[in-house]
Amino acid sequence: KHGKPVLVEMWTEKFFYFVLKWEFNFIDGLGKASALSTDQIDVENGNRYGIEFIDEKNSPQHPIILHNSPSGAIERIIYALLEKAAKDSKEGRKPQFPLWLAPTQVRIIPLNTEFDEFCKKLCEKLAVNNIRVDIDDRNESIGKRIREAEKEWIRYILVIGQKEANSQNLSIRDRKTGDVREISFDDFLNEINEQTKGKPFTGLNLPKYLSKRPQLMV
């Protein structure tokens, strides 16, 4: 049960190679429907391409072919996510990817080099819990580093200074809510795990230190 309307189209004649097809569609910003996933029951192409099987009477038969694409093309999935983000932006919400899919889930920003070692250990503690986390250790202002993290749609930003290094709690900037709040490390882990459980995971595909990453000159 998806709680969504269904459009049913029935034909009096068979115009296509399939007798039944269903689609999940996404409506984009222009009001256009695009199929994200589809299944088709194909009753013609087995004969057309000479595909056969031997039945229980030892006679050759042409099979019914199931065209099965429950997830759809990855390009269309990304397109739908970007369209949704664009819609959110137009309606005054910050665009973002689902947390499990975000290239970087948490960014740590040290106030200065004094807190680099603390940030390194915090990064390691998060990473071993299957969280994509990096450290912006570049010689840039705090404001610029926060702005650039926002431009990357990073959900959680942790700025680490003396207060945070001496505290048992983390001070996090949450892109989804727009709040800056304090939370314990364990509660922060639980919050992320609740949003990513049951989803696939892969680690960062870039160096965890932003200072080590290639810079694009435009």
Which domains are present in the chain? Answer: 18-90 (no CATH), 99-212 (3.40.50.800)
- The predicted pLDDT at position 153 comes to 96
Q: Look at residue 218 and tell me whether its pLDDT is greater than 90.
A: no
Q: What is the DSSP letter of 212?
A: G
What amino acid is encoded at 63 in this protein?
A: P
- The predicted pLDDT at position 14 comes to 85
The DSSP line for 177-192 is T--EEEEEHHHHHHHH
Residue pair 103/132 in contact by the 8 Å Cβ criterion: yes
Task: Compute the 3-state secondary structure of the chain and give helix, strand, coil in percent, each to the nearest 5.
Answer: 30, 25, 45
- Cβ-based burial of 158 (10 A; exposed 0-12, middle 13-18, buried ≥19): buried
Per-residue pLDDT tens digits for 3-33: 888 888 888 888 899 999 988 888 888 888 8
Q: Look at residue 1 and tell me whether its pLDDT is greater than 80.
A: no
Per-residue pLDDT tens digits for 32-91: 888 888 899 999 999 999 999 999 999 999 999 999 888 778 888 899 999 999 999 999
Residue pair 102/153 in contact by the 8 Å Cβ criterion: yes
Per-residue pLDDT tens digits for 129-172: 999 999 999 999 999 999 999 999 999 999 999 999 998 899 99
- The predicted pLDDT at position 15 comes to 86
- The predicted pLDDT at position 76 comes to 87
pTM for this model (two decimals): 0.80
Residue with tokens 């309606």: 91
Residue with tokens 């009477």: 57
Residue pair 110/119 in contact by the 8 Å Cβ criterion: yes
Tokens of 162: 């003396």
Q: Look at residue 217 and tell me whether its pLDDT is greater than 90.
A: no
C-alpha to C-alpha distance for 138 and 110, rounded to whole angstroms: 9
Residue pair 72/35 in contact by the 8 Å Cβ criterion: yes
- The predicted pLDDT at position 34 comes to 84
Average pLDDT over residues 90-98: 92
